[in-house]
Amino acid sequence: MEAALYEKLEGGRVHCFLCSHHCRISPGSRGRCGVRENRDGILFSLVYQRAVAAGSDPIEKKPLFHFLPGSDSFSLAAAGCNFTCFHCQNWAISQVPRGESPIPGRDLPPEEVVSLARRTGCRSISYTYTEPTIFFEYARDTAVRARERGLKNIFVTNGFMTAQALEAAADWLDAANVDLKSFREDFYRRVCSASLKPVLESITGMVERGIWIEVTTLVIPGYNDSEPELKEIAGFLSALNAEIPWHVSAFHPDFKMNATPRTPAETLRTARGIGRAAGLKYVYTGNLPGDEGENTFCPVCRNKVVGRSGFTLLDFNLRRGHCRRCGEKIAGVWE
């Protein structure tokens, strides 16, 4: 399919402004994502309706804790990514060789994705596992149909989209979990081959557009786990909106970071304390099943309003989005 969000340049080149790499692509070449190709001066998506993963997941896996908790979300992915993260947990499908043809995946049209989601009892579709921005056209056409059938749409994203891409998605995107991988430009350049500023702009843009947002930071020992950096992340989110849930999750060795140790539980608990001290109302420890930090507490009376273990919902003590004990409104989309 012809790509969205690009312009033609002289000499048959094109400028893709889907993500913040702003690739200028010569005829016969692909962008940094590896799945958008210039064919005779026209930019094409090579992953339209080509699913590399599709299936039902608990929405808590995204992770989204304040958006339809306890429901299932139909997860959809296409191959490729605009980042090259050393620690990618889905590298087998995100880091496909940039010149590979055909692109991995199977034919799964938008209409069939929506039908599968409804058939499996899902209340939403999550565009996830790889970076949804790079299969924008596929996500868009699926999302519009999903909305018509009463389903919500979710991006699990690195947030490196342009303002134009976010504006184009705002009409059909209901929620997002954004990976804020670090608060250091050097980390983004060295570990992800990207940059920090566009991610912060996307988080801000989503809040301004009323898209429900939760933020995840995978805490990696020796890379982004210092208390000063964690305080800066917490301060940024709190200043933007203290009701943004922040997930501080444990790293485990993978891909090109097999020699990096797992994140100690105490580091995550310290990060959670930093977030709460900065004024964030909802801070969660991730990848620690059974930890107290998985639960949602009322910010006023400290009643446990949602209890969890891993991806399983254990307790639900909300009435129409309010704490059953004191009546405080708990931020989120609950029904």
pLDDT in tens, 75-118: 999 999 999 999 999 999 999 877 777 889 999 999 999 999 99
Looking at the structure, do residues 30 and 113 belong to the same domain, yes or no? no
pLDDT in tens, 186-211: 999 999 999 999 999 999 999 999 99
Q: What is the 3-state secondary structure (H, E, C) of the chain?
A: CECCCEEECHHHCEEECCECCCCEECCCCECCCCCEEEECCEEEECCCCEECEEEEEEHHHCCCCCECCCCEEEEEECCCCCCCCCCCCCHHHHCCCCCCCCCCCEECCHHHHHHHHHHCCCCEEEECCCCHHHHHHHHHHHHHHHHHCCCEEEEEECCCECHHHHHHHCCCCCEEEEECCCCCHHHHHHHHCCCCHHHHHHHHHHHHCCCEEEEEEEECCCCCCCHHHHHHHHHHHHHHCCCCCEEEEECCCCCCCCCCCCCCHHHHHHHHHHHHHCCCCCEEEECCCCCHHHCEECCCCCCEEEEEECCEEEEECEECCEECCCCCECCCECC
pLDDT of residue 177: 98
pLDDT in tens, 226-283: 999 999 999 999 999 999 999 999 999 999 999 999 999 999 999 999 999 999 999 9
pTM attached to this predicted model: 0.97
Looking at the structure, do residues 204 and 252 belong to the same domain, yes or no? yes
Q: What is the number of structural domains in the chain? A: 2
pLDDT of residue 107: 97
pLDDT of residue 141: 98
Stretch 36-50: mean pLDDT: 97
Looking at the structure, do residues 37 and 179 belong to the same domain, yes or no? no
Q: Is residue 72 part of a domain?
A: yes
- State the average pLDDT for the chain: 97
Looking at the structure, do residues 220 and 236 belong to the same domain, yes or no? yes
Q: Domain containing 28: what range? A: 6-45
